[in-house]
Amino acid sequence: MSKLLILILLILVLAAIIALRYRRQIQTALYIWRMLRKMRRMNKPQEKQIEKEENAKDLQLIRCAKCGTWIPQKNALNLRSKTFYCSANCMEQAVKF
Ligand SMILES: [Zn+2]
């Protein structure tokens, strides 16, 4: 028998002894680990929903205050809190008048 085999056997025996001795602790640890995994899985759909809501906000169409073109809010230029323009051109014209 090679030294490596003896070492592996020793480690296995040691692991078996530890497993028997700390059976309860290992079971508790496994239980906690499973709970954490379950919690993580439960949290994931919520994250996705938040992402979706943010995407929806990006895709929300708003109307240019100058020419009336509908554009996604993320592309819109915003001068005052509720006034959006489709381009710098429209914004400039709106400021002039
Ligand atoms: Zn416009």
pLDDT in tens, 26-65: 899 999 999 999 988 887 766 677 777 767 666 788 899 8
Examine the domain organization and report whether 5 and 46 are in the same domain: yes
Q: Rounded to the nearest whole angstrom, what is the distance from the C-alpha of residue 25 to the centroid of ligand 1? A: 67
List all residues 6 or more positions away from 86 whose beta carbon is below 8 Å from its beta carbon.
64, 66, 67, 69, 71, 75, 76, 77
Domain housing 4: 1-59
Q: What is the pTM of this model?
A: 0.40
Q: Give the distance (Å) from ligand 1 centre to CA of residue 68.
A: 6
Q: Examine the domain organization and report whether 33 and 43 are in the same domain.
A: yes
Asked whether 75 and 49 are in contact (CB, 8 A), the reply is no
Ligand 1 mean position to 65 CA, how many Å? Answer: 7
- What would the pLDDT profile of 7-32 be if each residue is shown by its tens digit? 999 999 999 999 899 999 989 999 99
Same domain, 84 and 50: no
Neighbours of ion ligand 1 (CB under 5 A): 64, 66-67, 69, 86, 90
Number of domains in the chain: 2
Which residue in the block uniquely carries the two structure tokens 């929806």?
A: 56
Bridge-based pairing of strands 61-63 and 70-72 is: antiparallel
Q: Are residues 3 and 24 in the same domain?
A: yes
> Do 80 and 93 fall into the same domain?
yes
* Helix (H) / strand (E) containing 72: strand 70-72
In the block, tokens 């938040």 appear at 50
Q: Are residues 43 and 70 in the same domain?
A: no
Same domain, 55 and 90: no
Are 46 and 77 members of one domain? no
